[in-house]
Structure 1
Amino acid sequence: MWTIILVLVGLALFILYKMFIVVEMREEVILERFGKYRETLKPGLHFLIPFVDRVAYRQEIREQVIDVPHQKCITSDNIEVEVDGIIYVKVMDAYKASYGINDYKLASINLAQTTMRSEVGKITLDDTFSERDKMNEAIVEELDKASDPWGVKVMRYEIKDIQPSEDIVLTMEKQMEAEREKRAEITESTGERDARINVSAGKRQGAILLSEGEREKRINEANGQAREMELLAEATAYGIERIADAIAQPGGSLAVKMRLTEQYIDEFEGIVENANVSVLPVEAANLKTFFEGAAQISNQTNPS
């Protein structure tokens, strides 16, 4: 008797359990009646008809993170790299996510891998490191188009890692080392060139200053010589002017002649003394006496 009662109580509790369902805030539930879609249950408490209604699917409506495994891709310059990433998706329509595709997570992973291989094949190895944002946007665009019938929205895609093969890594390291050496040589040669330019510029400036100094010196010397000649000319002109004034005075002309005669006689005596001459005319010997007498007569005739 107690056994039957316990069985009936357990059956009642089971039926009562089947009559109610609690949908959590983070999900939506697909309800089927006799195997046919009935409705989509929103978060809250819902009543079910036992053995008639059943919960077919529970869909997570929060944004989900799906890891995309490593895959090998070939770049446009025929270099093999391994790429992995992360997809962020969100179920927008629980009905489509339940009946539009068998497993939208697996489909998203496979589609992401296919799109990634296609995008990597369009660029070179060097561009795979600098064009990540563009590749992410292209993959999101392609995934979003394909996932629309699934009721799933691809929020974003992020490339986690791009790993070339070991041989390529060694080659890249050698290339980077060569590039560093090249930049060092360029920097060193540029420094030497700048040093030579500075030295030559200094020498040129020094030569320019030296030539300018020499030019100023010559200009100053020329100006000094010109001034000296000018002063000498002025003094000579002044002396000649004084002589002319003196000549213009009464008896000045005779005095000039007498002075010239005296200079002539003095010079002639010097020539005669230094010359090897043993015979001279008597007129030449008495010439000085003649002129001295003439001078005395002139002085008596023209007293001052």
Structure 2
Amino acid sequence: MIDANATPMEIAVLVVWAFIFLYLAFKFIQAICLVPTKSAYVVERLGKYKCTLEAGFHVLLPFIDRVAFVQDLKEETIDVPPQQCFSMDEVNVEVDGVIYIQVVDPIKASYGITDYRFAAMQLAQTTTRSVIGTLDLDRTFEERDIISAKVVEVLDKAGEAWGIRVHRYEIKNITPPLTVKNAMELQVNAEREKRAILAKSLGDKQSRINRSEGDMTEMINISEGEKQRRINSAEGKAEEILAIATATSEAINKIADAIEQPGGDQAIEMQLNEQYIQQLAGLSAKDRKIVLPANLLDFNQWLGTLGASNKQ
């Protein structure tokens, strides 16, 4: 408490001491550091690097030690703004991308470069321009992986001195001029129509091949069926002829056996004469021609005249 009888000088001295006490208390409190996870505090002592504080509780010397830099050790993304690039065939394209980097050495990231983020972005832009300058426009759309790999390679070499690691670089957009874009769209449409015509022609060709193969298979099946039918018919006729011949042979053998019997030849002769007369009866009047013997009463002479008489 300030005495009511205190002079202005005494009051001023008390106020100064109060400020000094508050300042000292603030400095002592400031000397206590709580470092979060995935962070690093770079400490300087009297303007010179002293140590790097990792995650946890730390106490510094007031008025002597100070946290000069705070580095975030987590992976971070940096947008690379759009830039104009010329391809090898002198086409101006606009390219932008994104870099994924991480601080691996807080000391180099603090003292190796003023601003590693800005430096990485600028180096990514210049490397992208140089790589695209070696590629044709069509290849710039196809070789994104090559461009990204080249940028990562260059940034990694520079990042060794900057205390950072570049994990990857991705190209977000490659935008050609409007006239080139329209020409590319026409080319794509032409290629698409070409592929459609080719696919249609291939389909028509395959359809014709399938139909011809079907017709060929059908003709082969028909010819094979006809061949088998003729073979079956021939075999049937052969079996029929063989059966008739066998039956005829058996009949002749039976007739021969009958002739050998007593009176067999007379029976055969009578049978032949009867068949001959039946044949004459079956002839028409126009075709019938009869030769009669002189003696009609001699039956044997009549049959002999007809060629069917009994030969004794």
Decide: shared fold, TM above 0.5.
Answer: yes
Query: Equivalent residue for 1:175?
Result: 187
1:257-300 Cα distance to aligned partner (Å, 9 max, x none): 89889969x98xx9xx9799xxx9xxx843876672699xxxxx
RMSD: 4.1
* Equivalent position amino acid for 1:238 in 2: E
Higher helix share: 1
CA distance in 2, matches of 1:251, 1:134: 120
Give the drift of 1:229: 2.0
Match of 1:29 in 2: 42
Q: Where does residue 170 of structure 2 map in the other structure?
A: 158
Partner of 1:92: 104
Distance in 1, matches of 2:270 and 2:106, equals 148
Shift of 1:224: 2.9
Contact 1:30-1:94 within 8 A present in 2 as well: no
Secondary structure (helix, strand or coil) at the match of 1:47 reads: coil
Q: Give yes or no for the alignment of 1:47 onto 2:94.
A: no
Letter in 2 for 1:112: A
How far has the Cα of 1:85 moved from its partner?
1.9
Deviation for aligned residue 1:13: 4.0
C-alpha separation in 2, matches of 1:288 and 1:215 = 62
Letter in 1 for 2:61: F
The gaps in structure 2 that reach 5 residues or longer are: 1-8, 304-311
- In structure 2, the partner of 1:298 is none
Q: Distance in 2 between matches of 1:231 and 1:202?
A: 42
Partner of 2:19: 10
| More moved, 17-26 vs 63-72 | 17-26
Q: How many pairs are equivalent?
A: 281
Mapped partners of 1:103, 1:234: distance in 2: 119
Paired with 1:196 and 1:274, the residues of 2 have a C-alpha distance of: 66
Deviation at 1:37, TM superposition (A): 1.7
TM-score normalised to structure 1 length: 0.70
Residue type of the alignment partner of 1:241: N
What pairs up with 1:67-82 in 2 under 5 angstroms?
67-76=79-88, 78-82=90-94
The 8 Å contact of residues 31 and 41 in structure 1, kept in 2 or not, is answered as no
Letter in 2 for 1:182: K
Give 2:53's aligned amino acid. K
Q: Does the C-alpha gap of structure 1 residues 30 and 167 become closer, same or farther in structure 2, counting only changes over 3 Å?
A: farther
Give the whole-Å Cα distance in 1 for the aligned partners of 2:251 and 2:107: 133
For residue 96 of structure 1, report the CA deviation from its aligned partner: 2.6
Q: 1:244 to 1:157 in 2, by over 3 A?
A: same
Q: Tell me the equivalent position of 1:110.
A: 122
Question: Aligned AA for 1:292?
Answer: N
Change (3 A) 1:30 1:246: same
1:88–1:155 CA contact under 8 A, matched in 2: yes
Q: What TM-score does the superposition give when structure 2 sets the normalisation length?
A: 0.69
